[in-house]
Amino acid sequence: MRIRRPIVAGNWKLNGSRAVCRSLVAAVGDGLSAQGLGPPVLAAADSRVEVLVCPPFVYLSELAGLVAGHQLKLGAQDVAVEDAGAFTGEVSAPMLRDVGCQYVIVGHSERRALFGDTDERVAGKVIAAVRAGLAPILCVGETLAERDSGQTLAVVRRQLAAVFSALESASLAPAAWRELAVAYEPVWAIGTGRTATPEQAQEVHADIRATAARRDATMSGALRILYGGSVKASNARDLFAMRDIDGGLIGGASLQAAEFVSICKAAAG
């Protein structure tokens, strides 16, 4: 029996319009209800799955009420290290909290590769999120070259260590362990149609849990570790059946309501 409540998070990336986003939230909410996973089930602390959507920044405030009405959670796709100041174009953790966000994705491979987020900057963003009362979803993962050269576990451990050490130095651990989730997303499987096999994903998830246990034994059993990387309705059940996979961070499939709802149903078991 699963001891950790699964999370399924939809990362909409740079997609949508006001009308499309509102329609998608409604369709997901109605679809979950039709599967017996809507209110009041999603509102219960012991419900079978926690579902959140992460739209672009500009739609967060407008969608907050609609998301809450369907008992979904609202997340942002990124966050600034800084809380305020002369940082044109940035969006701070307190601002995200103010418009109704409960979660934030941090360290996605696209932010690391395209926008220069280093391990240290990712750690700073996690700290900013925790201090503002947001639950970070920390993304980690290796490139194809790193996997082919046998560096997968070393890369993931390095990315984790930067965040764990920063939280400890900021005196935010161990309390932060209760809020933190980790998403393992092999870079070579994001948006490519390629997916790690359930066994490949489980190997890394198990190592993430063991790495967490070496920092704090109490964190290991409770830490929720999601898989991301071309998750679809057709492969979700096999992935989520793995012992250490606690749901998914879903990209393209989260833009299709029926597909996303099927993934949520698979996570609910």
Which residues are known to be catalytic?
A: 108, 185
Three-state SS string over the chain comes to CCCCCCEEEEECCCCCCHHHHHHHHHHHHHHHHHCCCCCCCCCCCCCCCEEEEECCHHHHHHHHHHHHHCCCEEEECCCCCCCCCCCCCCCCHHHHHHCCCCEEEECCHHHHHHHCCCHHHHHHHHHHHHHCCCEEEEEECCCHHHHHCCCHHHHHHHHHHHHHHHHHHCCCCCHHHHCCEEEECCHHHCCCCCCCCHHHHHHHHHHHHHHHHHHCHHHHHHCEEEECCCCCHHHHHHHHCCCCCCEEEECHHHHCHHHHHHHHHHHHC
Q: Any idea how long the chain is?
A: 269
User: Which pair of structure tokens corresponds to residue 170?
Assistant: 């900021």
